[in-house]
Each structure stands twice: as structure tokens, then as C-alpha cells.
Amino acid sequence: MKEQLEAIKAKAIAAIEATDGMDKLNEVRTGILGKTGELTAVLKGMKDVSPEDRPKVGQLVNETREAIEKLLEEKKVAFEAEALKRRYESEKVDVTMPAVKHEQGNLHPITQVRNQLVDIFGSMGFEVYEGTEIETDYYNFTALNTPQDHPARDMQDTFYLSPEFLLRTQTSAGQIHVMEKQKPPIKIISPGKVFRSDDDATHSPMFSQMEGLVVDKGITLCDLKGMLDEFVKEIFGKETTTRLRPSYFPFTEPSVEVDVSCFQCHGKGCKLCKGTGWIEVLGAGVVNKKVLEGCGIDTNEYSGFAFGIGVERIAMLKYGINNIKLLFESDMRVLKQIND
Amino acid sequence: MLAPLSWLKEYVDIDVTPQELEDKLFSCGFEVEERYEVGKDISNVVVGLVKTCEAIPDTHLHLCQVDAGKAGVLQICCGADNVEAGGKYPLALVGATVYATAKDHVTIEGVMTIGQGKLRGYDSFGMLCSGTELGLNEDLYPGAGYNGLLVLPEDAEVGADVKPILGLDDQIFDIAITANRPDCQSIYGIAREVAAVLGKELKVPSLEYTEHEALADSFSVSVDAKDLCPRYSAHYVYDVKMGPSPAWMRRRLALTGIGSISNIVDITNYVLKELGQPMHAFDYSYLEGGKINVRRANNGEKIQTLDEKEFELTDQNLVICDGVKPVALAGIMGGLNSEIKDNTTAVMFEAAKFARDNIRKSSRALGQASDSSALYSKGVYEYTTVMAMKRALHLIEELGCGTVSSSHFEDNTGNSIEPHEMKVSINKVNGVLGIKVPDEDIVRILTNLQMQPVINGDELTLQIPAYREDMEDYPDVAEEVIRMYGYDHVEGTFMPTARVTMGGLNLRQKNELRIKRALCAAGVYEGMHYSFFSPSDLDLIRLPEDAKERHAIQLINPINVDLSLMRTTLAPQMLRAMAGNQKKGILEGRIFELGNIFIPKDLPLTEYPDERETICIGAFGKEETFFTMKGLCDVVADTLGVTFEYSAAEKTFLHPYQTATITCNGEVVGYVGKVSYEVADDLDMSVGAFVAELDLRVLSQYYGKQQVFVPISKHDEEKRDFAFVVDKKITCGEIEKLIYNACDYVTSVKLFDVYEGGQLPEDKKSMAFSVVFTPRDEKIKGEKVEGFVANILKDLKDKLDATLRA
């Protein structure tokens, strides 16, 4: 009996050693430990063993079985480890191959700049008022102290839709609507599309402006300067400073052009600022007394300032876009370039 | 406006450098757009004295030894016919720059640098120059028009730079004048500002003259159209001796871009440049009927102007007439019939103010412009009218080219040309600025501006000159003070007296931005197109004649027909944008635009039209399908927390079987579809393209929709898959809708397979759906969910004759 078990064990060792995979290993297991397996057959033969020998033989059989099972388990672990290794190897990738991307779109550069402006002025307490693109002559000109015979009203500059209606030439038109509807304090910005009959390399017949208006007690030119100083630092960088110089707009008095220190050369003079160290970015001024009075606002109590920013100009300066027309052509190569 | 420094110096003692003057002008509101030296291209040209001059045999050349002062005596070969020993001429040294001329010795072809040369074997160490080669002509320097060497004055210092001698060192300032300061559209006007900003005395040009005999004929001046001509003055000058004007006058006119014609005409142009007052001189002998009458032209009336162009006029044009005929197009140009000629012996000078709007409109309408009309369009003051007439008469005397009569004729509306008094509060002036400008500075500044300020407590009394019609109230005074005091005194403050306000976007603006960002996240790029488009855009999308989109607002004065209609749909420009990309070889892309369409209530407009916010999405490329596009539309729905329903539809420019109308809670909100092959062909599109348009005005009702949290049930969801066999004409949408309607525990219905053919009958298809039932408080597993399923199957059987696939 003992010899028989030894023989089974030796055969099992050889068979396990010779297996080359899990399938074979399972065959070996079944051949020895299965219902009809050799060791199982020995166990079945136990009934023929004399009762006094049974414990000893039983122990011997168990030892043999445990030894074989241990070997089988070891082999199984080895096979599993190898299989996992092969699986990993089979899944090896070239990590330098291209990524699978989920393409993100961009907001239009004009929308991006507009959002930045809205964020800055919104945090200063400015509400956003969007007027209409089609305006009346009254709101676009007359109420803005642009007299009937002012050159800016001429057909060459303004697109007319009827004797009364036109495409607004400036977002300033929104000022009047707001002042007619709302009592001071007024703090609004009015971004939107404007139209002028200009079409050449540097002009587009449609472009975007953002008008700002503050009307409250004791508003002065110094307040305009203080607010613009904050604004330019936010949009062009902390070192940026402003310079006011006299100008003329019918609806402000005094009127100023606002230059910012060149954010590329910081005033040394470069191509961007044409060597002057300054870049013209917006027009502004103290709201003309006549404009306030026309809207029924008491100028003994209230005063205000207004400013108008060319959004394309800011976008072109910020991003170095060299041709305004590119902004309206939806060329994917252009749209893909500037993201928030 | 061009202002030569030498001319400005006639009125102001300018003791600052040209750069300093430019900076000062800039700081007080006059931007110098360009400043240049008259001889900016000329360098290293000195006075040369020809010591010896010998003809080179068999040539037209002379071999000269020229004394160039410090540069020594140089050998120069010269081809000019007027070179002679003892003469002084401009000598361009080796390395000098002068103008290169064509064979005609007149046409300038660029700038050249003088090198050491060899002519016919003789070395030449420079070049003797003509006037043309130095950029001069007869007007700029007498003798410079001669086709040969420019002869320099005998007292010119040998070896000295020729520039100061020839006035080539003069500086020209090109100054931008803002629309509120027409009084500065002249040399004298600028000089007034220069004097004020430098704090210098202003020298008034001489206006003195002596009146002689009166005109013997009876003569009168009258204005019919007083609204268009508030002041008209005329003065008679006789014994006119026509001839050239003096060199100083010709030079100044030339520096400001005007060629010399004759003494009389030059005087009118000189006064125009000097004082900003257009003048005209009529040959008196051609004025018929003993009068000048200013009136609106008769419709159809004709006039031929000095440049021999003929115009047919309307009653919108103003004309100057004699007793018989129009003799000038008012403010624009004189008539040919009364032109000053070489044999003119008596003239009638005109100085008038015409309404700027009328002159501008006439000039534009007739397509006829002049220096005069340009000035009138900007505005000419009556003050200048009076001053200019005196100045012209003075110049007649100074030039000795005529005798000033005592016959002055005038018709005016009684406006004063004297200063008017204005009183303002100093506190209010400072209140505009936000700083306290010291009283003494206010007085100094306003004195320099000729406003004679007197301060009494808070009251500031000013005498406003008649040429400052822009000065109306205390803000104008504030502007005068600060532009001279300096904007650098303005200190930034942050509205200390203002109340706190809430800022930022409103609900609509926030939601529009949310939609834009959601589309970006789905790989769509934002584009922006013009608010106007072309009538051909409406044809491109094959709109029938009666389509509502054809009811579009027209621009009266578009740039061109392609930009002549306010858009009523965003689709055509999106189609063109997609096609434009494809033409550039970009074969895939996704674009959206959020913009307004313009729906008129009436045409022509008498009230504001409806500007409807609309979103248009375009996608093109071989990966795009109707369903990727539908997914992009659903991005908008998901952003707003609503569900879009799609039903098959037709659009004139879209694929007949890949087009849907989009509705939201039963309301039409837009459409989506594939661009038809016909339209794609028209646009040369090579890959499939899709377009959708959504009406954000309708969708805006869902902005800010209240979001309600639904508690998560502790019970498990149940999921069932069904494959229905239905008629081929049954749509996915119909089945989905029925499933949802059959059981309100259904929270998701997803199509996952469509199958046709095989064992299925010819007219049938199988559609497989995965359905999710979401429990609430109670468990639904088992009996309950089986009941739901039974309901669904029954409904589908009853309504669509759907059976479960075996």
C-alpha cells in the first residue's frame, strides 16, 4: 500500500512538473484526486484494509493527498502569475501615441474680452444693459447732443433704415434709454454690436463697443480716472497706467482720450505702441450737462461720467490679432486659437 | 491740417523746440499726427563756390573745381547749362541724399545717395544740384523751377548747410482738429492756441487799409436764404494789377499744399489758410445787373464751376447770383463765368458764412469739393468773416495790386461778433474736475485764452470771444481750464460719494452665456457674423417668394448689395462659413453663433423691430451625422433642463429625409437638418454639413427654471429590455413616447438596436429598447414592475400593433 502511494506521488510529481498550463494541471488533478482518480481509488480501497491498519494507512493517504494538493496549488499560482504577466505584456502600449481627445470649443475672442470686461465692471457694481442694434436717430444722436448738422450724422458714416431708424453707430445710445427709465444711482455697462459705413483693411462695418455710464451725486473727472486706472490694471496687467488727454465727443464735456502705458514695452517704445510708449484704448468724459438735462436728471444734484471701449481693439491688442476681418469669417483656424 | 512752424512764428514768439511744441499741443487737445522737416530727405548738401569751370571737349559737361568750405576744394563734373565760375550752387557731397529725377529733370523718382563717380573718365566727388533735386519748386524758392542748377544768393557762406538758406529746415506740423474747434482750422487759429499754451503774446495779423473812391455803379448785396447764409459781405477793389504774388506768400501757400495762381487768387487762398475763412474774388466786369443775391438754386438750374465741370442744381443747393445768373456755387466753388483772368481790372471780394450742413450736403450730393467746402463743412464763424475781409483788403494794399474802394456791401442776420459775457461758479467748474484748481491758475489760463476772466468770490465772469461758439456753460470752462492746467493733475478717486450698486449679468445674459459654454464643452466654436446679409442669401436657401424671411429690413445706404438686408435667419451665413472653411481645405468643424434676427413689424420701419436672440449651429465633416447634430441641439435642451422633441419635417434648403422640426413642450423652437445636395453644390461643399437654428426668445421662458431635488429611493431600480416588431413607418419617437406615457415610473427609454430583414416580414422592423423603472418609497421589484411591463406591452400592441420579437 505504501509503495502504491509512493508510486502515485512520484507519478503525480512528474505529471505536475510536466504540465504546461492550467488545463493540463486540472487534468492531472482530476486524474489523481478526481472521482475516478488514482488516489481516490486508493481511498475507496480502504474498506479492504484491516481496521487496525486503517488509521495508519489513512494518515498515509492524507499525507500523500496533501502533498499532491500543495504541489498542484504551487503550480497553479505559478501559472496564474505567468498568465497575468502575459496579459499585461499583451496590453503594452506606446505611450507616445496620440491621445484620444474630447475637443473643446472656444468662445469667440470678442465674447471672451466682453466677459472679462463684464467681470471687471460687474465686480465694481455695474449692471449690464444691452440695447438694440436698430435705434432711432433720436437716441443715437439727438439725445446725445449731436446736433442735426454734426458731421458724425452724415449718411457716409451711418447706415440708415428709414428716415427715423438706423443701425446704432455707438453703444452710447443705450445711455439715454437707461437714464430715461432709471433714477440715479446709475451704473451700467452696455456692450454690443455697432455699425459704421467703413469697410477697408482696418475697419469693419460691424464691430463691438462697450459703453459705461455712472450717474450719481458728486461724480467727477477724478472718479473717471480712478475707475479707469483699476480697469486697465485688471485687463492689461498690474503695471499699466493711464494718461488722459483732451478730446471731443458731443455727449461728454470735458471729453478725453485715454491712453494706457504700452503693456508690451512698458513705455520704452515698441512696434505695438508705434514708439510712443502709449496705446489709445478708449474715449471718455464727464457726461454733458445737456444730455443729463435732456433725460430729466437734475444737474444741480447729479453728475456722471461715461466711457466707450472698442472691444475688437482690446481683443486685437491683447491677442495680437492683426486683421479685424478675421474675427467675422468663422475660419476654424482662427476660432481654435484663442481660448479662455 | 498742415501748419509750417515758420508761419506760426509770425504770430507767436515760439522759443521751444519743435518736439516740445508738439508735446504742448498734444497736451492741450491738438494731436500732431505727423511732424516733418520740409527737407527731410535732403542731407549733406552745402553751399559750393565754383572756382574754375572748364568745358570737357565733345560733351555738354563741365569740369569744375568747387570750394566746399571745410570739405575742401572738390572736382565735380557738371552737366547743367548754367554752371559758371564764381557761381554759388547747392553741392551734394559724397554720401549726401537728394531726390533722383527722371530724364525730364522734373519728375521725382525717389531718394538717392551721392557716391564718388566718374564721367567720361573724369572723377567727380559730388554733385551740383537743381531745385527739383532738393524737393523745391518755383513757389517754394524763387529760381528753383529752373531746369539747371539752383543759383544760391551771393552772400551765402561757402561750405554752409543749404537747408536754412532754402527753408528746407522748416518744420511742418500736421495737426488733427477736433470737431468742436472749427476756429482752429487755420494757421492763426492754431497760433492762438500755441500762444495760450506757451503763455506768449499773440500778434494779430495786420488788418489796416485805406479806403479810396467808392464804386460809381449802383450795386447791392442781398440774401434770400438767410437760414443758409447768416452773413454775406462783399467789397469792391479796382485798379487791379494782375501778376504773380510775392515769394513769401507763394512759399507759405506751397507749404500748405496750394499752388500759386495769381496775386488776387493767392490772396483769397492765403486768407483761407491763415484765418480759416474761405474767400472768393469775382471779376467785377462779369457781374451783371448791379447786384449779388444769395438764394437757393432753382430746380434744374445749371452752373459751370472754375474747373469747367457743369452741375445741375436743386433747391437744396445754395448759389451766389448776379442780377442775371448764378456766378458761384456757394461755399464750394466759383463759377467759370466770373473767373479772375489775367486782364481782370476790378474784383468783388466775398467773405461769407454759410450753414455747414448745407455746404456739406451739397458738396456730397454734387460730388464737388474744395478747400472752401471742407472748411465750411467743419464750420466757419461770422467773426472770421469780418476779420478775413479786412485782411484780404490789407493784403491788396501790401502787395500793391489794387485800390481798395469804400464800397462795402453786407447782408447779415444781426449776430454780434463782439465777445459775450458769461458767468459761472468756480465751485461748479472744480466740481466737474474733482480737483481744486488754484484761482490764480484759472485766471492765468483764461487770460491766455483771451477770455478776460474776473473772479468775485465764487463767481467767474468771462468775455467769450465770438470765435468760441463752443463755450456755453461751466463744463466748457472746466475743459478749457483742465486742458491747459494739465490732465496729469487729475488724481484717481473711486466714487467716494456714490452709492453702492449691484452689478453683473441679468438672467437672460447669464443663460445665454451658459448655453454658449455648454456648446463649447461639446466641441463647438463660437463664430460671429454680420447683422446684415445679402438678398442672394435668401435665394441660396431657396426661400419661396412669400417666405416670412424675405420680409427683411433694407439698409438705405449699404456698403454694397451683399450687406444690404438685416438678417432674418442666421443659417445662410453659417452655410457660407462652413463652405468657406472647406474652400481653405478645412474639412471638419463645428461652429455656433448667438445673434439677433430682425423681424420688422412694418416696412418701412415706423417702430422698433423685434430683435430676436437666435442660436445657429453648424457642423461639417465626415464624422458628423444627423444624430451628432441632434446631440448638439440637445446640449441646449439639457442646459435649460428641458426636452426637445424632433419630428420629421421639410425645409427648402435641407435634406428631405434628414430634417426635423424641434419642439419643446409643444411649442416650435427651431429646426435641424442636413444641408441639401443642391445647396451644398451651390457652395462647392465637399463634405456633409448640418445646420440647426433655435429661437432663444421662445426658450428664454425656461431660463432660471427652478431645480427640484428628487430623493434617491433606497429600493433598487428595475431595468427591462424589449425588442418590438413594428411596421417600418413607426418611429422611435412614437414608441418612446408611448412607453413613457404608459407608466410614470419610467425614467429612461433608450433605443439600442434596430433590425430589419432576416426572418422579419418585408414591412416590419425590430426596435430594441432598454427601459428603466425608478422606484419611489416602495419596492417595485416583482409583481409591480411586471404590471408596468404588461401595461406597456398592451399599449404598444393596441396603439402601434407592436409585438415582442420572438
Mutate to test the interface with A, among B30, B430, B490, B700 (most CBs of A within 10 A): B490
Q: Give CB contacts under 8 A, 24+ apart, made by A29-35.
A: A29/A72, A32/A8, A32/A68, A33/A65, A33/A68, A33/A69, A33/A72
Say what the pLDDT of residue A155 is.
53
Looking at residue B179, what is its pLDDT?
A: 87
Q: C-alpha cell of B417?
A: 461778433
A16 pLDDT band, cuts 50/70/90, is: confident
Q: What is the 3-state secondary structure (H, E, C) of B587-612?
A: CCEEEEEEEEEEECCCCCCCCCCEEE
The DSSP letter of residue B778 is: S
Most A CBs within 10 Å, among B27, B185, B501, B607, to test the A interface = B501
Nearest to A258 by CA among A227, A231, A281, A229: A281
Q: B718-804 has which fold?
A: Alpha-Beta Plaits (3.30.70)
User: Which of A128, A159, A153 is CA-nearest to residue A138?
Assistant: A153
Q: What is the sign of the dihedral through the CA atoms of B530, B531, B533 and B539? A: positive
Greatest Cα pair distance, chain B, in angstroms, is 130
Cβ within 8 Å, pair A248-B580? no
Other Cβ atoms less than 10 A from the Cβ of A139: the count is: 20
> Residues B32-41: pLDDT tens digits?
999 999 999 9
Compare CB distances from A216 to B487, B491, B497 and report the shortest one's residue: B497
* Separation of alpha carbons B765 and B790, rounded Å: 21
Give SS3 for A259: strand
Predicted pLDDT of residue A63: 86
DSSP B551: -
Chain A interface mutation, best of B34, B227, B471, B479, highest count of A Cβ atoms under 10 Å:
B479
- Which pLDDT score, from 0 to 100, does residue B240 have? 97
Tell me chain A's radius of gyration from C-alpha atoms: 43
Q: What is the pLDDT of residues A102-148, one digit of tens each?
A: 899 999 999 999 999 999 999 999 999 999 999 999 999 999 998 77
What residues contact residue A161 under an 8 Å CB cut-off, 6+ apart?
A134, A167, B553, B554, B555, B556, B566, B604, B605
Entry pTM? 0.85
Q: What is the spatial distance between Cα A39 and Cα B58, in angstroms, rounded to a whole number?
A: 136
CATH code, residues B2-38+171-198: 3.30.56.10
For the record, the C-alpha cell of B265 comes out as: 487768387
Q: Report strand pairing: B122-124 vs B117-119.
A: antiparallel
Q: Which three cell numbers stand for residue B747?
A: 425614467
Residue whose entry in the numeric block shows the C-alpha cell 469697410: A199
The closest alpha carbon to B595, from B615, B579, B565, belongs to B615
Tell me which CATH code domain B507-702 carries. Answer: 3.30.930.10
Closest CA to B329 of B289, B302, B356: B302
Residue pLDDT, tens place only, A263-313: 888 878 888 888 888 998 999 999 999 999 999 999 999 999 999 999 999
The Cα–Cα gap between B193 and B30 comes to 9
Measured CA to CA in angstroms, residue B429 lies from A213, A220, B498 at distances of 21, 10, 19
Q: What is the CA radius of gyration of chain B?
A: 41
**Region A31-52 average pLDDT:** 82
Cα three-residue angle B524-B527-B532, rounded to 5 degrees: 145
User: One fold for both B2-38+171-198 and B424-488?
Assistant: yes
Q: Which amino acid is at A228?
A: L
Contact flag A227-B553 (C-beta cutoff 8 Å) = no
Pairing of strands B689-695, B667-675: antiparallel
State which residues of chain B have pLDDT below 50: none
Nearest to B559 among A102, A205, A245 (CB): A205
Beta strands in B253-317 (DSSP E): 279-283, 291-296, 302-304, 310-312
Confidence at residue B393, expressed as pLDDT on a 0 to 100 scale: 98
Q: Measured between beta carbons, which residues in chain A are less than 8 angstroms from residue B28?
A: 246
Q: How confident is the model at residue A154 (pLDDT cuts 50, 70, 90)?
A: low
Q: What is the pLDDT of residues A188-227, one digit of tens each?
A: 999 999 999 988 877 899 999 999 999 999 999 999 999 9
Q: Are B622 and B687 in contact (CB under 8 A)?
A: yes
Q: Which of A110, A253, A328 is opposite residue B530, by nearest beta carbon?
A: A328
CATH of B43-166, one of 2.40.50.140, 1.10.10.410, 3.40.50.720, 3.90.1150.10: 2.40.50.140
Contact B449, B484 (CB under 8 A): yes
Q: What is the pLDDT of residue A332?
A: 95
Domain spans, chain B = 2-38+171-198, 43-166, 220-412, 424-488, 507-702, 718-804
Residues in A closer than 8 angstroms to B527, CB to CB, are 108, 330, 335
pLDDT at A151 over 70: no
pLDDT exceeds 60 at position A156:
no
State ipTM.
0.86
pLDDT at A152: 60
Answer yes or no: are the C-beta atoms of B756 and B707 closer than 8 Å: no
Q: Where are the domains of chain A?
A: 2-90, 109-335
Across the interface, whether the CB atoms of B528 and A110 are under 8 A apart is answered yes
CA distance B260 to B180: 31
How far is Cα B497 from Cα A184, in angstroms, rounded to an integer?
A: 12
B335 to chain A, closest Cα gap in Å: 26
Q: What is the architecture, at CATH level 2, of domain A109-335? A: 2-Layer Sandwich (3.30)
CATH number of B424-488: 3.30.56.10
Question: Residues A155, A156, A161, CA angle at the centre, nearest 5°?
Answer: 45
Q: Which of B498, B526, B611 minimises the CB distance to A133?
A: B611
Put simply, the answer to whether B357 touches A148 (Cβ < 8 Å) is yes
**Phi, psi (deg, nearest 5) at residue B268:** -65, -40
A102, A128, A333 member nearest B504 (Cβ): A128
Interface contact flag, A206 B493, Cβ < 8 Å? no
C-alpha B143/C-alpha B563 separation (Å) is 55
**Helices in A94-144 by DSSP H: which ranges?**
109-123, 137-140
CA distance B517 to chain A (A): 7
Measured in angstroms, the CA of A42 and the nearest CA of chain B are apart by: 51
3-state secondary structure of B99: strand
Can you point out the beta strands (E) in B465-578?
525-526, 532-533, 565-566
Interface mutation target, options B184, B495, B564, chain A, most CBs of A under 10 Å? B495
Q: Coil, strand, or helix at residue B251?
A: helix
CATH number of B220-412: 3.50.40.10
Contact between A254 and B432 using a beta-carbon 8 Å cutoff: yes
Min Cα separation A161/chain B (Å): 5
Please provide residue B319's backbone torsions phi and psi, each rounded to the nearest 5 degrees: -130, 150
pLDDT of residue A13: 87
